[in-house]
Amino acid sequence: MGPPKIMYQRITLSCECGRQPFKVREIGLTPDRQLVIYWRCSQCRKHVYIVKSLADYWRECPSPTGATARKPSYVSEDALFLKRVGIRWPEEDETHY
């Protein structure tokens, strides 16, 4: 029978030194709905805690079509320039017909 086919997006983890964890020691939830991932870095020996809101992870979940649920982020200098000269992105357009 084989493993079930579940679509998921891998959560990328790394220490400040850039090393990915060899082994995650703990995964937990906080009372204010945040996911906590803990490990000890094998390179720099630091204790690493990643804390992120479950709502943020939920927004990043893959859709059945393979695209992520979050909207694109336009924060480059070019995007800021275009916004200053009046060009708007489709999701900023509030015109209703």
Per residue in 36-63, pLDDT tens?
999 999 999 999 999 999 888 888 887 7
CA–CA–CA angle 49, 51, 56 (5° rounding) = 150
Q: What is the pTM of this model?
A: 0.58
Q: Is 34 helix (H, G, I), strand (E, B) or coil?
A: strand
Q: Please provide the average confidence, as pLDDT, over all residues in the chain.
A: 78
Q: Is 39 exposed, middle or buried (0-12, 13-18, 19+ CB in 10 A)?
A: buried
How high is the pLDDT of residue 37?
95
Instruction: Determine the Cα–Cα distance for residues 75 and 38; give it in Å rounded to an integer.
Output: 31
Structural domain boundaries of the chain? 26-92
